[in-house]
Amino acid sequence: MVDAARSLTEDEVLAIRAWPQRLGPYEAFGQRYEIWTDDAVLAGFLHELYDAMTVAEHREHGAPTGHIYRVLGPTDERRGVVMRDDSMRGSSEHCARIMESLQWAINRQVIIGACADRLILHAGGVVRDGVAIVLPAVMESGKTTLTTGLLDRGCGYLSDEAIAVDHDLTVEGYPKPLSIDPGSWDLFRHHEPMVAPPLQGYLEQQWQVAVPPIAPVVRTSQLGALVFPTYEAGAATSLEAMSPATVVRQGAHCTFVPPSSTIPTARLRDIATIAAAVPVYRLISGDLQEACDAVLSVFDQVAGP
């Protein structure tokens, strides 16, 4: 990519009339969006990643549904661009930054757009035999690594990023593609995306992996337990029950809230209700397989008769 690559303005992007690749609509947590691009190869890959969120009904008379993400890949002449509706969300000469900007913008719409009215935990989530275990954790705690390991052990997929929990303990997942960081690539070489050379730059900083070839996607399930995981290199694996007060305190750190807001009292009550209704554990581990064994043992404890 040459240094002279030009930055397009928002008006220039909006002036482009030919967007031959229009993907979606997709939906999660009631938030709808479409992805438009001029690149057929990129469009095929993006649809593979987001297909689990496809809405069954189609546009009426070609009218878009929900927010529109316009994606232009970088070329020697221009920087790549991500726009949501009429607002720039990212611009870069590097494909990986374009992918990062698109992921960030969609995640923000889906999660922030829904969290004002319901409890949404920053969490992974997996399902076995109709029961869900939700894995709340702050960033860099190993949620995606543990979630992916559990998918390899036969679980269904809710999310590696966000889970909504309703008052009746129904959980709803956000089935985005798995976002696997370089530190876990050696663990999951069997999931390394095999993409055409023009797409390889989009995955240089983080693998984006479509889930349906790996495991079934489950949109809703019934909560069986919470497990708060933490990865600590070299740590012995431990699984300990958490007190309700600790659950509320830790859960508050893993709850999405609207920008510039503190966690509402109602959300704290929601967490307390969950802590009183289902088993909750803290999991510390430095070994993926042992961590998966611990979570699977919780499934055995909460399984129905």
Structural contact between residues 158 and 184, judged by C-beta atoms closer than 8 angstroms: no
Q: Which two tokens stand for residue 179?
A: 């976002």
For 119-175+211-302, CATH gives 3.90.228.20
pLDDT digit of tens for each residue in the chain (305 aa)?
445 678 888 888 888 888 999 999 999 999 999 999 999 999 999 999 999 999 976 545 455 568 999 999 999 889 999 999 999 999 999 999 999 999 999 999 999 999 988 999 999 999 999 999 999 998 888 899 999 999 999 999 999 999 999 999 999 999 999 999 999 999 999 999 999 999 999 999 999 999 999 999 999 999 999 999 999 999 999 999 999 999 999 999 999 998 878 888 999 999 999 999 999 999 999 999 999 999 999 999 998 66
Residue ranges covered by each domain of the chain? 10-112, 119-175+211-302
CB crowding 219-256: b at 16 or more within 10 Å, else e: bebebbbbbbbbbeeeeebebeebeeeebbebbeebbb
Stated pTM of the model: 0.93
Neighbours of 54 (CB within 10 A): 12
Max CA pair span of the chain: 66
**H or E stretch at 23:** strand 21-28
